[in-house]
Amino acid sequence: MGKLMEKMKRLSSDKQTQALIHLTILWHSLITVLGLGVAVTLLVGILLSQTPFWLRAIISIVLFATSITSGLAALNLNRKRRQGRTLSLVVNYLGFLGCLFYGLHVLGIFSGIDVLAANFGRGLIPLAGVLVGYLISATGDRFHHQVEIEERFRKIGRWVAWISTVIFFIVILTPNLPTFIFTSFSKPLPLALMGGVFLFGFFIRAIWRNETANALQATQAHVETLDGYLFLSPNFLGFILFFAGPLLFSFYISFTNWDAFGNAQWVGFENYARIFTLDLKPLQYPDQVFTEVLDYSRFDEVTRFNLFGQWYILGALDKLFWIALGNTIFFCIVAVPLSVIPALLISNILNSRMPGMRIFRAIFILSLPSPPRLGSP
């Protein structure tokens, strides 16, 4: 009888897993169609026609990439390949983060952090419930040989942690919560974004399940790789958003004439031709007025220098670029060595075995966490 019940439970779980996989395939098919449609309408100017073209182009490229990735996820999930699970998790994870953070921005959560800080003390008791939930879940690790008991402890711990988190936010937001909910969610955009958060989160959970991983023939190495990328993702996304993205955007802007407000006008290599257009002229005497030598309607004086007894003047169409470049080179040559070399010497001294070094090391380390304001008058 027990074996029959276990078999029926396994069949029910398999049917549920297959249903979730098919539902995820439909979800990715919908994302593919909608993403391609919105990307095309953005490019032709039907949507956001007042938005600068470069911004619409970037959004369209992101939507095209998302649509293609989502389509490949649906195709591989339909063929029961583990690559489909990876692609599905990537699309849903990025969609979840995008909807979550943009939704928080639209709702004004980031500007209301001071309200949370003021009421934080009221939520310490429910916040302790999160720790209790973690301890309950960790207790289940003691029952490795009794899987059902272990899973039961983990489920109870998760529920306690989630309920405590919800109570915590309700408690600290109670004074302004009704007004906030009424004013914020009466608009369609916040509702759509929160709906996106729920849907993307649901499909992340559906594909992340161990049963789904087994159904898609995911190996232990594959599961561990995904876990590694998950932990790596905050740093990786931060690198793309705050370093690589602005770097590529700056490179694109260098080919345009743009004042950061209106539409960017493509000028090709005109900006580079301007900054590298120089004029070098010899001087009759060191203090000769530059207007007597250079075409002052086009060039500005950058510097004067003596080479083998002959004075020269260097002019440029854009002297600010060369001034900035000179300051950067000066900083690299002077400031960087002056900060790095003494630091290396001090670190070597701290690691040496000279008499009294332990006392000096303790005094030096104790001074590090002291805020600079303590030394100010």
The CA radius of gyration of the chain, in Å to the nearest whole number, is 31
pLDDT at residue 120 in the model: 73
Q: How is the chain split into domains, by residue range?
A: 122-174, 278-317, 328-369
Is 141:150 a contact under the CB 8 Å cutoff?
yes
More confident residue, 226 or 31: 31
Mean pLDDT to the nearest integer, 43-62: 81
For the chain, count helices (H), then strands (E): 15, 5
Rounded distance between C-alpha atoms, residue 186 and residue 25, angstroms: 32
Report residue 181's pLDDT band, with 50, 70 and 90 as the boundaries: low
More confident residue, 9 or 135: 135
Residue 376 above 50 pLDDT?
no
Residue 94 above 70 pLDDT?
yes
Residue 351 above 90 pLDDT?
no
pLDDT at residue 365 in the model: 72
Closest CA to 314 of 291, 294, 289, 284: 294
Report residue 8's pLDDT band, with 50, 70 and 90 as the boundaries: very low
Residue 266 above 60 pLDDT?
yes
Which alpha helices (H) appear in 108-146, and where do they start and end?
113-118, 124-139
Report residue 5's pLDDT band, with 50, 70 and 90 as the boundaries: very low
Residue 156 above 60 pLDDT?
yes
Confidence (pTM): 0.63
CA distances from 274 to 245, 249, 279, 315, 317 (A): 25, 20, 12, 12, 6
* Torsion sign across C-alpha atoms 360, 361, 362, 368: positive
Report residue 90's pLDDT band, with 50, 70 and 90 as the boundaries: very high
Residue 176 above 70 pLDDT?
no
Residue 368 above 80 pLDDT?
no
Angle at 130 between CA 204 and CA 86, to 5 degrees: 15
Report residue 265's pLDDT band, with 50, 70 and 90 as the boundaries: confident
